[in-house]
């Protein structure tokens, strides 16, 4: 239960602060892209160091599935992890909806330029990059170490700066599904459910090829 609570609370904090930064910027214009990217990166760093030794701080179904496929994580734990992540995400989006009643999007991810296919491919590649970094700096299914949090947080910040203006830089199905459903904006949700998952699994495939060659 400690692990599941960690994933629930961690995902709640991730979405409350991360999507909250998008909402605050929409309301005030105070953060801008650099500020939003910094918020996402910093909250990831904080969560990894706070909860990494308990649950590994997956806080992302694509990461959990990728660890399971890579045999670093037991499949029997996957449903409870995914459920905990979704619960935390919906709690965060529900609270943000209560706090910002006039906001109609709640920080959803959606294609901002170039259309659906451009955003789909971009999300696949960006999540591939993120998952590859996670696989290289993590031990087993635990993203905990002296530098792991900083590296992963910096990677998220970089990817939000790079891809945010095009696709919204989801990289995480729960980051997209909760705001979309709570706000009622689900027209492009398929992109952000499939692309991050595909990108994470592709990273596992490539990483395993490298690992087999090095043995």
pLDDT at 148: 85
- Residues 51, 10 contacting (CB under 8 angstroms): yes
Summarize the confidence of residues 154-170 as an average pLDDT.
96
**Cα–Cα distance between 133 and 66 in angstroms, integer?**
13
**Cα–Cα distance between 65 and 81 in angstroms, integer?**
10
First to last CA, the chain: 36
Q: What is this structure's pTM?
A: 0.93
Summarize the confidence of residues 14-28 as an average pLDDT.
96
pLDDT at 52: 87
Q: What is the mean pLDDT of the chain?
A: 93
For the stretch 116-129, pLDDT in tens is: 999 999 999 999 99
The position carrying tokens 């330029």 is 113
Domains in the chain (CATH in brackets) are 2-214 (1.20.1080.10)
SS (H, E, C) 118-173: HHHHHHHHHHHHHHHHHHHHCECCECCCCCHHHHHHHHHHHHHHHHHHHHCCCCCH
Q: Is 108 left (phi over 0), alpha (psi -120 to 50) or beta?
A: beta
pLDDT at 142: 59
The answer, yes or no, to whether residue 215 has pLDDT greater than 60, is no
* pLDDT above 70 as % of the chain: 94
């Amino acid at each position: 239960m400690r692990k599941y609570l960690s994933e629930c609370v961690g995902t709640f904090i991730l979405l409350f602060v991360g999507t909250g930064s998008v909402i605050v910027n929409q309301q005030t214009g105070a953060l801008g892209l650099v500020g939003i990217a910094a918020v996402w990166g910093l909250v990831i760093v904080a969560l990894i160091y706070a909860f990494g030794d308990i649950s590994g701080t997956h806080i992302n179904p694509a990461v959990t599935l990728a660890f399971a496929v890579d045999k670093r994580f037991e499949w029997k734990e996957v449903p409870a992890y995914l459920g905990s992540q979704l619960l935390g995400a919906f709690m965060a989006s529900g609270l943000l909806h209560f706090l910002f009643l006039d906001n109609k999007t709640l920080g959803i991810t959606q294609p901002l330029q170039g259309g659906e296919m451009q955003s789909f491919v971009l999300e696949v590649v960006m999540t591939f990059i993120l998952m590859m970094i996670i696989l290289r700096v993590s031990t087993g299914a635990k993203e905990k170490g002296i530098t792991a949090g900083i590296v992963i947080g910096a990677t998220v910040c970089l990817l939000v700066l790079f891809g945010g203006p095009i696709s919204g830089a989801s990289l995480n199905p729960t980051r997209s599904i909760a705001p979309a459903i709570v706000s009622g904006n689900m027209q492009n949700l398929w992109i952000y459910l499939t692309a991050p998952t595909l990108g994470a699994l592709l990273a596992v495939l490539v990483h395993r090829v490298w690992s087999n060659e090095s043995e």
